[in-house]
């Protein structure tokens, strides 16, 4: 339903490799992947701005959005900004020291 709602991307099982045995025993958890930067900025970000998360995932979303905007502005090509981006990446998900 997520893929249909956003009309973009794909749903992929979380697996360590692509073997048939691994795929058959894959976790029921999946990843939703969107590859179009314009779709991320034009559809996904506005959705989460209108319907914000109310957990620590909000902080991860805000960091992800910062990285997306930095990349769309080509800041990842500068070594200074690239180091800043690496710092942001290091705290997303399990690396976060601050709490909601």
20: left (phi over 0), alpha (psi -120 to 50) or beta: alpha
Averaged over 25-50, what is the pLDDT? 88
Is the per-residue pLDDT at 62 higher than 90? yes
**12 or 15: which leads in pLDDT:** 12
Q: Where are the domains of the chain?
A: 1-35, 36-100
Sorting pLDDT into bands at 50, 70 and 90, what band is 29? confident
CATH superfamily of 36-100: Homing endonucleases (3.10.28.10)
Averaged over 50-54, what is the pLDDT? 94
Instruction: Write down the pLDDT at residue 65.
Output: 96
Instruction: Write down the pLDDT at residue 26.
Output: 65
Is the per-residue pLDDT at 43 higher than 90? yes
């Amino acid at each position: 339903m997520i893929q249909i709602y956003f009309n973009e991307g794909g749903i992929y099982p979380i697996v360590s490799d692509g073997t048939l045995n691994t795929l058959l025993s894959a976790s029921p958890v999946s990843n939703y992947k969107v590859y179009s930067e314009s779709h991320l900025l034009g559809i996904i970000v506005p959705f989460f701005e209108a319907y914000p998360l109310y957990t620590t995932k909000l902080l991860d979303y805000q960091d992800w959005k910062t990285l997306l905007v930095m990349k769309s502005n080509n800041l990842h090509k500068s070594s200074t900004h690239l180091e800043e981006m690496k710092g942001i990446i290091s705290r997303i998900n399990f690396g976060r020291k601050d709490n909601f």
